[in-house]
Chain A
């Protein structure tokens, strides 16, 4: 069965520092993988997606993620954090082509 594990429920970085949010997946078939961002009391917004094309995926707001099949990982990175990046981030994987399964989320805090 497909599943997603996000390591670290809370990550804190300083403004200008590297952001690394970890996501590992389990899937018996080639997966589609997604990262979403959520600001307080709002819906989720798509950051980027992997759909079996290039393994390094670039998204909005300077974020990118690399699909590593050997490590079953899809970690999200950004070279330099900005205060506006503070939010909750969710990794998701497709489940048998019917729906998305989401991780429990990682809250990113950015300090000045």
Chain B
């Protein structure tokens, strides 16, 4: 079955460490997205990519980095520059036109310890 897979489901990070969240899709979607979810704040766009080897900053890109070397994969790195990284991170994918909306992964919960 086609879908979008995020791993790990839970991740713990020490202060000052970089961590990478994985997002893989086999839907043949061109576009992929990363959102951060905090209680009461909805989903905020971190980065998005509409084509391989190209990506754009969203509304809260500071302290994050991404790559898009393959159509199927869009990993997100949370760097030590992100001062408040504890959150629920959601990856999504879509066809280019967006009229079908997104398909979401099941999320990664990142906690700083």
Residues on A close to B: CB < 8 A?
A: 9, 32, 34, 36, 41-46, 49, 51, 90, 92, 94, 97-105
In the bound complex, do residue B106 and residue A43 qualify as a contact, i.e. CB atoms below 8 Å apart? Answer: yes
Interface Cβ pair total, 8 Å cutoff: 61
Note all chain B residues with C-beta closer than 8 A to A105.
Answer: 40, 42
Residues on B close to A: CB < 8 A?
A: 6, 33, 35, 40-45, 48, 50, 56, 58, 88, 90, 92, 97-102, 104-107, 109
In the bound complex, do residue A100 and residue B105 qualify as a contact, i.e. CB atoms below 8 Å apart? Answer: no
Q: Whose C-beta in chain B lies nearest to the C-beta of A96?
A: B98
Most buried by B among A41, A44, A92: A44
In the bound complex, do residue A41 and residue B104 qualify as a contact, i.e. CB atoms below 8 Å apart? Answer: no
Note all chain B residues with C-beta closer than 8 A to A44.
Answer: 43, 90, 92, 102, 104
Q: With A41-B88, A43-B105, A100-B101 given, can you name 10 additional A-B contacts, CB distance below 8 Å?
A: A32-B101, A41-B107, A43-B90, A43-B107, A44-B92, A49-B100, A92-B101, A100-B98, A102-B42, A104-B42
Please measure, in the bound complex, the distance between the C-alpha atom of A9 and the C-alpha atom of B41, giving whole angstroms: 10
Please measure, in the bound complex, the distance between the C-alpha atom of A102 and the C-alpha atom of B60, giving whole angstroms: 14
Please measure, in the bound complex, the distance between the C-alpha atom of A49 and the C-alpha atom of B107, giving whole angstroms: 22
In the bound complex, do residue A100 and residue B102 qualify as a contact, i.e. CB atoms below 8 Å apart? Answer: yes
